[in-house]
A and B are shown apart, each in its own frame.
Chain A
Amino acid sequence: MPPADLLVIEDLRVEYLTEGGAVRVVDDVSFRIGAGEAYGLAGESGRGKSTIALAILRLLRPPAAITNGRVSFDGTDLLSLSASELRDFRWKQISLVTQSAMSALNPVLRVGDQITDAICAHEGVSRRVALERAAGLCDVVGIDRERLRSYPHELSGGMRQRAVIAIALCLHPKLIIMDEPTTALDVVVQKQILRRILALKEKMGFSILFITHDLALMLQICARVGILYAGRLLETAPAATILSAPQHPYTRGLMSCFLEVHQPRADRRGIPGAPPDPRYPLAGCPFHPRCAFAMDACRETRPPLAPRGARHESACLLPAGHGEAAK
């Protein structure tokens, strides 16, 4: 049985309200994350992945604005929270790990102070108590306690990202949004950190919204995955299903673009064309100009996410199972 929903996003729309009109970058996206679940959003750069993360935390700045939809977290309607309610809510309930630890950390403050700041701001405990908790967090994420006295530039990239994860964990949030958390790191360090995150998730029971362009990585980490393209969710399914029976032609194209280390060399083709410019939205399916199976209807009808199996939905007019034989 699937876990109870923690985060429910319905028809979320984010637009840049420019002088030239509204530019839609997140287009009526809906998904749910269960308690203790790791959900992945995959898609190429500039397709609204990070915008969704910022929208959930209500961190969008003008001209970007949420113009439609509902975001509910553990029963609370996030879009109606006041500024002071938001201040309490952020980090305590949902924290964020971004790609660049160097820009997430303050270069002139010691790492320990940056962890205790968050604890003191939210819980009103003494600095000493907060520092003890920070030391405990160091053990949890795998950094030497001595490092609390270091400045960010004295740490390696991997250690900095661990420090950022320690800050994200320090208030025991129910959900951690991880936006390309290891993209800036070497693969060896990436693997260590992801293993650590998964072990912590098992132990502490938080949920993860994992955002990345690296589909292989996402399928390793997440139980369920949503494939985002041009601001729309084109397919969502359990990771194993995306791997074994992807339905949407875009997902299938993306899967075939991965060059695996252990695959014998064979001729491969990328997906032709380029993603659409959000300033000039397309009628119909946003993928139709690049899709090998596009029909006339695809240029006119915008396909909704429709069930394709157990917890599996695809936004495509092609019949279920299409292309599997061709593959």
Chain B
Amino acid sequence: MTAAGRPASAAVAAAAEGEAPLLSVRRLGKSFRLDRGRELAVLRDVSFDVGAGEVVALVGESGSGKSTTALLIARLLVPTTGEIRLRGVDVLASEPRHASLAYRRQVQMIFQDPFASLNPIHTIRYHLERPLLRHGEARAEADLAEKVNRLLETVGLTPAADFARRHPHQLSGGQRQRVAIARALSVNPALIVADEPTSMLDVSLRIDLLNLMRDIKSDRRIGYLFITHDLGSARYFADRLLVMYAGEIVEAGRSDDVLDAPAHPYTRLLISSVPSATAALGAPEEPGGGVVARTAPVIGRGCPFADRCPSVMDRCREQAPALRPLSPGRTVRCHLYP
């Protein structure tokens, strides 16, 4: 992703907060080429919006396409099909190969592993100064130091001057993830893509990190695409939920609605599998549990979940269901809901 010397995309830079949603994704797809001309379609027909100040969670098992979606939105991967619109501007049309500096300024990413996302040989100050300089957020030396301190204070790393001097190895996992948040905030982004930001952290530190992200959201009207496998975190932090299975969105709606009354059989299976201290485990094996999710090359006709689905019908093996409205703000991809 080198953008050095290239002029920022005027269209993206000019995109202003207006009628269009902050992020609008339509029919996004990603295939990887395998040997002998075969293709692996890891993502198919993914469409959703994220509004300013809204948190949209993407949940599903590993291999369902959550992280691929994150990388496509962050434009670290180039989609095979589909549209990404930032405040109405079709960014793949205006800057097809690489994201412009303007896009990257507006869409920032927080990665899962704070041990891998910070450079061990540089100080925290260096990690925060780089984006500030690259994106022209600070120019004078004094300005730079003040901005670094303010960022560290925003994410609760005080005394800021002390943290700025440290190296990543002198910080705990939770503190490192706060640096990653500060780095994302340094350029005043409109959207933050957070890929499992709390899953490597101790349980006792996760809530406070989510609280920090929520406070930042309210203060700055930042939109979040929040990728998680933890449905409890999704309920706590997200306004809306997208459930992914085998590269498709199978259910979407307000997080409380989806989690309290899941419609798709996969969503039901997922929710019933979450460990609960108060519920018994039950007898071994249940319908639908035994088969592993199918990856794209073996998907033929029909619904990818058909093999595991307790409510499977003949039709499910013949014809893939489309994502259809279920109730206002709620969609589901299943033949049970014609």
Contact = CB atoms under 8 A, between A and B. Distances in A.
Interface of A: 44-45, 142, 156-159, 186-192, 194-196, 198-199, 213-217, 219-221, 243, 253-254, 257-265, 268-272, 274-275
B275 A217 contact: yes
B235 interface: yes
Name the residue among A142, A195, A259 with the largest chain B CB count within 10 angstroms.
Answer: A259
Interface residues of B, number: 44
B311 to A, nearest CB: 16
A112 B334 CA distance: 40
Given A259-B235, A268-B236, A187 B273 contact: yes
19 contacts: A156-B292, A158-B292, A159-B292, A192-B289, A195-B281, A195-B282, A198-B281, A199-B283, A213-B203, A219-B277, A221-B281, A257-B207, A258-B232, A259-B230, A260-B232, A261-B232, A261-B259, A262-B259, A269-B211
A45 B202 contact: yes
A315 B333 CA distance: 52
**Which 4 A-B pairs have CB atoms at the shortest separation, nearest pair first?**
A259-B232, A271-B204, A186-B61, A270-B208
Interface string B267-290: 001110111111111111110011
B274 A192 contact: no
B181 to A, nearest CB: 15
Given A188-B61, A275-B202, 7 more contacts: A157-B62, A187-B229, A189-B292, A262-B276, A268-B207, A269-B208, A270-B208
A143 to B, nearest CB: 11
Contacts, number: 126
Contacts of A194: 281
Name the residue among A217, A219, A274 with the largest chain B CB count within 10 angstroms.
Answer: A274
Contacts of B285: 142, 192, 195-196
Contact of B269 (A188, A219, A271): A188
Name the residue among A191, A192, A261, A274 with the largest chain B CB count within 10 angstroms.
Answer: A261
B193 interface: no
Contacts of A159: 292
Nearest to A155: B292
Given A44-B202, A158-B292, A198-B281, A186 B229 contact: yes
Contact of A199 (B61, B277, B284, B286): B284
Contact of B277 (A198, A258, A269): A258
A241 to B, nearest CB: 12
Contacts of A158: 292
A100 to B, nearest CB: 14
B203 to A, nearest CB: 5
Contacts of B277: 215-216, 219-220, 243, 258
Contacts of B62: 157, 186
A257 B204 contact: yes
Interface string B227-258: 00111110110000000000000000000100
